[in-house]
């Protein structure tokens, strides 16, 4: 990923955009954080939040006219938060000092005429920028007119306290100054490096400056310059917060003028602006503002905390709300994009974001709910591809899934045939590797039925290459897809009939030239067998595979088949275009098994009903966490000998491979009348494994054939260890990048396995 790419990714995530209240404030006070502190009764933190961006908080916090309230999102559902009233409570509650570390003086002096709010704010900012500031006022006490204007809310004591801070930091106050006289103006211009005219507190009619046609002082509305380059003016507005903001913007212009830099560059977001932050109001109940017991005195502390509790704490986080993966890593896409960029850019050191990159299920739910179309799945997949191409992706990340894919493409399972007695095929049934691994009998029954209804239906057994695609191994996935395209052409370009939604997505997106149709569309068109099982125990909840998110016609077809079977069904809260992944997609279950388990559990908890899905892996994932779940084929071709198919356990990894191999042998023998092919010698070794040990092996992705190969090698004279007390044997074997250790003992029926584990270290003999 290039730096420019990172910027584009970051820009598309709006979580760090300010809320409406902050964007509406000319001073950009973090009203969201302020209200949150008030809600929690943290008055000190609330005051510090105000003082961080609000000048003269003890004054302005009392008289602010709070334009933020007009754009408060809570106001769209009930009353807006009374932020101005909360500010007044806060500045009365908190007795805090301002944080200010004086910097070395710049050696330049600025005069400020008038002690209105804009003048006091300009003095506040300029003294903190290390300028010498002298404030002239015509009255006998600076700020007196401002205090009188806002009495009794603004007391004389409050004004005196804020002025004391300015004086402590170095502002000189000169009372009784002859401000209206041209001579005083000219003298001040000559004596100081720059001059500010606070038009909210002084009359400028006598000053020698250019005026407009109406006779008013001509002032640039963006940078507040006048016809004299040393003289700036502002403050003519009825809004108190805007007068303070103009004082701040004037201070910026004067600073830039004295530093001889652009007065206009980079000032686009001064003042109120539009924000891109999205805040969902779904489910928000309308609430009225908390009433004041004494409207003249304002909120009490208790009333203020209650009012602040109505705040929505505006955030986007739409993707994080629905995605356990995004939630698990404790941030949001903008931060993840930076982490991923840094991870990929590392030359030496630990790549700490590998797990983040490889744990995404690539399901696209984040993009479906994001107001700005941020696609975390695209970012993760692109990064996986880049890391694979650069040799930076650890082999362990997706190895087991890729080995399982290789098994499906091996002679143990791979098969492409016309129907018996046929030399051409109008259709080619492609059940996919996972249906055959989960329920080979149903795959065979579906093939038989399709031949009875469609005639010349060929069969293709294998994998579509989705694991390689998800792992970012573009070359491998393209090789497999090219193979299937070649097989399709050699078979006479029949229509693919796909039972797996992941296969459908692969061909739909990466091989659009190959005509495809879901078997659910086919069954909806040709009808179901005469006696499907139409009496499941209760209403079913439909779980749509995440790979159908952008294929709503598949979802519709599955529901049509369900309706044709006479089954009642309910929609899950997150279904159809907003459906969640089961935890298998994108190889999440390989890269982050514990997270995948949590994803599956959360999905299973959305309804108390039995689930109905039309993806074999989804059904098996749900079954693995104890959720009663049916595959749609369980209703059409009920499994033989199973009175309650919803309780069927998930087959383990070894069983899944065995099922695929057995299906091929069975079809060759029964459909094409061919003798079965003998397997490897080690496969004849009989293993006795307890249910507890079998579960442990499955969690560790250790297959029975791994155990058989290890034991066969040890029994043929390979190295092995014997426990002096139990007599059990322990042997190791490294058939590929993984070393397997097996603890076993010979028994009459073969060998009993007590434990096994694996690691990536190589054991030297």
DSSP 541-597: EEE--GGGTT-HHHHHHHHHHHHHTT--EEE-SS-GGGPPP-S-GGGHHHH-HHHHH
Whether 80 and 72 have beta carbons less than 8 Å apart is answered as: yes
**Quick one: average pLDDT of 92-105?**
83
The residue ranking higher by pLDDT, 443 or 534, is 443
Q: Is the pLDDT of residue 224 over 70?
A: yes
**Quick one: average pLDDT of 409-437?**
95
Write the pLDDT tens digit of every residue in 33-46.
Answer: 999 999 999 999 99
Place of tokens 């890269």: 591
Which percentage of the chain shows pLDDT scores above 70? 98
User: If pLDDT is split at 50, 70 and 90, which confidence band does 536 have?
Assistant: low
Mean pLDDT rounded to a whole number for the chain: 93
Confidence (pLDDT) at 146 = 94
User: If pLDDT is split at 50, 70 and 90, which confidence band does 760 have?
Assistant: confident
Q: Is the pLDDT of residue 534 over 60?
A: no
**pTM given for the model:** 0.86
**Of 491, 513, 518, 493, whose CA–CA distance to 503 is shortest?**
518
What distance in Å separates the CA atoms of residue 136 and residue 168, rounded to the nearest whole number? 17
- Orientation angle between helical segments 240-259 and 117-128, nearest 10 degrees: 40
Q: Give Cβ neighbours of residue 568 (< 8 Å, ≥ 6 apart).
A: 539, 540
Confidence (pLDDT) at 576 = 94
Write the pLDDT tens digit of every residue in 181-221.
Answer: 889 999 999 999 999 999 999 988 888 999 988 889 999 99
Confidence (pLDDT) at 394 = 87
User: If pLDDT is split at 50, 70 and 90, which confidence band does 537 have?
Assistant: low
Confidence (pLDDT) at 738 = 85
Q: Give Cβ neighbours of residue 393 (< 8 Å, ≥ 6 apart).
A: 354, 384, 387, 471, 472
Q: Is the pLDDT of residue 403 over 90?
A: yes
What distance in Å separates the CA atoms of residue 160 and residue 58, rounded to the nearest whole number? 10
Write the pLDDT tens digit of every residue in 168-191.
Answer: 999 999 999 998 888 999 999 999
Confidence (pLDDT) at 736 = 77
Write the pLDDT tens digit of every residue in 614-656.
Answer: 999 999 999 999 999 999 999 999 887 778 899 999 999 999 9
Write the pLDDT tens digit of every residue in 471-513.
Answer: 999 999 999 999 999 999 999 999 999 999 999 999 999 999 9
Q: Is the pLDDT of residue 676 over 80?
A: no
């Amino acid at each position: 990923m290039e730096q420019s790419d990172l910027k584009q990714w970051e820009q598309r995530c709006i979580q760090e955009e300010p809320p409406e209240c902050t964007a509406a404030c000319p001073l950009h006070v973090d009203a969201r954080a302020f209200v949150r502190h008030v809600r929690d009764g943290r008055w000190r933190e609330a005051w510090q939040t105000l003082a961080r961006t609000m000048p003269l908080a003890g004054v302005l916090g009392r008289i602010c006219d709070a334009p933020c309230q007009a754009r408060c999102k809570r106001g769209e559902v009930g009353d807006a938060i009374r932020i101005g009233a909360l500010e007044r409570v806060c500045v009365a509650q908190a007795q805090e000092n301002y944080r200010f570390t004086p910097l070395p003086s710049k050696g330049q002096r600025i005069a400020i005429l008038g002690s209105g709010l804009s003048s006091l704010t300009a003095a506040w900012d300029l003294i903190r920028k290390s300028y010498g500031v002298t404030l002239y006022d015509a009255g006998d006490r600076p700020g007196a007119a401002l205090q009188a204007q806002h009495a009794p809310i603004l007391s004389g004591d409050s004004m005196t306290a804020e002025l004391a801070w300015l004086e402590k930091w170095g502002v000189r106050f000169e009372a009784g100054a002859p401000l209206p006289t041209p001579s005083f103006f000219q003298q001040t211009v000559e004596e100081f490096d720059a001059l500010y005219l606070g038009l909210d507190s002084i009359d400028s009619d006598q000053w020698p400056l250019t005026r407009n046609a109406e006779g008013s002082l001509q002032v640039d509305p963006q940078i507040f310059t006048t016809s004299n380059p040393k003289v700036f003016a502002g403050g003519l507005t009825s809004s108190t917060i805007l007068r303070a903001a103009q004082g701040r913007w004037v201070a910026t212009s004067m600073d830039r003028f004295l530093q001889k830099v652009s007065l206009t560059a980079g000032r686009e977001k001064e003042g109120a602006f539009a924000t891109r932050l999205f805040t969902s109001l779904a489910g928000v109940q309308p609430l009225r503002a908390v009433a004041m017991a004494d409207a003249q005195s304002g909120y009490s502390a208790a009333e203020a905390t209650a009012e602040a509790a109505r705040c929505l704490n505006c955030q986007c986080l739409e993707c994080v709300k629905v995605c356990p993966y995004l939630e698990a890593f404790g941030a949001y896409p903008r931060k993840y994009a930076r982490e991923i960029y840094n991870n990929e850019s590392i030359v030496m050191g630990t790549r700490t974001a590998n797990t983040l990159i490889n744990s995404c299920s690539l399901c696209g739910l984040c993009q479906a709910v994001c107001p700005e179309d941020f696609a975390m799945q695209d970012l993760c997949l692109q990064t996986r591809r880049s890391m694979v191409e650069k040799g930076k992706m650890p082999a362990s990340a997706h190895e087991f899934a890729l080995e399982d894919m290789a098994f499906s493409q091996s002679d143990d399972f791979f098969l492409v045939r016309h129907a018996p007695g046929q030399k051409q095929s109008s259709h080619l049934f492609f059940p996919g590797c996972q249906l055959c691994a989960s329920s080979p009998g149903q795959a065979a029954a579906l093939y038989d039925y399709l031949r009875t209804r469609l005639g010349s239906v060929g069969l293709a057994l294998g994998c579509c290459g989705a694991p390689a695609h998800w792992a970012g191994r573009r070359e491998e996935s393209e090789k497999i897809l090219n193979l299937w395209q070649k097989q399709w052409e050699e078979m006479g370009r029949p229509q693919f009939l796909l039972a797996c939604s992941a296969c459908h997505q692969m061909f739909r997106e990466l091989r659009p030239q190959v005509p495809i149709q879901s078997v659910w569309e086919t069954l909806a068109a040709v009808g179901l067998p005469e006696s499907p099982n139409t009496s499941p125990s209760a209403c079913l909840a439909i779980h749509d595979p995440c790979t159908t998110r952008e294929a709503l016609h598949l979802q519709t077809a599955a529901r049509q088949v369900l309706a044709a079977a006479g089954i009642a069904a309910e929609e899950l809260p997150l279904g159809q275009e907003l459906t969640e992944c089961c935890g298998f997609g994108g190889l999440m279950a390989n890269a982050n098994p514990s997270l995948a388990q949590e994803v599956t559990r959360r999905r299973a908890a959305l309804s108390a009903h039995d689930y109905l899905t039309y993806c074999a892996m989804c059904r098996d994932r749900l079954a693995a966490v104890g959720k009663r779940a049916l595959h749609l084929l369980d209703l059409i071709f009920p499994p033989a000998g199973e009175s309650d198919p919803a309780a069927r356990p998930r087959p383990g990894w070894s069983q899944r491979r065995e099922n695929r191999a057995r299906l091929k042998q069975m079809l060759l023998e029964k459909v094409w009348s061919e003798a079965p092919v003998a397997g490897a010698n080690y496969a004849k070794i009989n293993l006795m494994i307890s249910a507890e040990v079998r579960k442990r092996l499955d969690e560790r992705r250790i297959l029975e054939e791994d155990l058989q190969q290890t034991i066969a090698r040890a029994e043929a004279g390979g190295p092995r260890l014997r426990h002096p007390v139990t007599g059990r044997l322990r042997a190791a074997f490294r058939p590929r990048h993984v070393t397997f250790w097996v603890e076993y003992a010979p028994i009459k029926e073969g060998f009993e396995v007590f434990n096994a584990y694996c690691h990536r270290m190589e054991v030297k003999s």
